[in-house]
Structure 1
Amino acid sequence: PTTTDATQDFCLADAPTVADLQVNEAGVTFYTTATGGTIVPSTTALVDGTIYYASLTVGTCESATRLAITVTVGNAATPTTTDATQDFCLADAPTVADLQVNETGVTFYTAATGGTAIAPTTALVDGTTYYASLTVGSCESATRLSITVTVGNAATPTTTDATQ
């Protein structure tokens, strides 16, 4: 078999399997070694740093030489914060950009998985939990950090004596 990329990159968050390996032909079987070895089922999760060996079968004949494909499975770490419960003042008009995380390249979402990305200019809502993922290269973290916010509204000061 042939491929356009003998070193293939995947992201852990995408849950890549042997079926995701790119080869140019159909009828390819993957093995654990260059000769002999065990067949690797197409549903097997790819492992970072592993070499998979592809053999092509045409009719009843299997290729004598196997194609080696080296796999990299990247995983961006979950972002971190020093405060998972953050307090803001309504008068400051806090936005998603004001949420404190320790890394750059963070995207906030409406849900722990899936959900919609939130623009940095979006106003924070009291009692809402926001979910942050980190992107490194082309890989986004598989697990999201949750940050719950409190947006307080200070009361207007009052007096019992209007003439002081």
Structure 2
Amino acid sequence: MKKFIIALMSAGLLFTGAVQAEAEQGSELHNPGGIGGVESLRGASELEATRPADDFKRFPRDHALDSDYVYQPPLVPHTIRNYEVSLNANKCLSCHSWKNAKEMGATKISVTHYVNREDAVLSDVSPRRYFCLQCHVPQADAKPLVENEFERVDSLR
């Protein structure tokens, strides 16, 4: 519904109150470039146009970023492009499982990943912890999309 309203606004078919006043003044917020585009975190783009994809981000392997808060899931210090994490396979476990970590030179997954909701210790990774990318994300050398003034807790400084 929101996309439909934006399309109507861009086409000049739907204006109400303050939106119409801004539109009549040529507001760049609702009409960047004056031709029906939408301003987003990716920049100005036309509704019907497809812009080229951004370059791939660089994943620094030489250092791992420190945690910013207690119990923060560790960031992944490498690319995960083409990693399959599905009901049938989990590429992360091929290196990070307790069975393979030493041989692969990787960090073992936490023992907390072997505990279910009833606090029973399992012999394999808990289903609620199986989909690694729900919590763990790759660290990339990329500029922030929005300003961030977050500060680490004192105990981690």
Superposition TM-score tier, normalisation by shorter sequence: under 0.3
> TM-score under structure 1 normalisation?
0.22
> TM-score under structure 2 normalisation?
0.23
More strand by share: 1
Larger Rg: 1
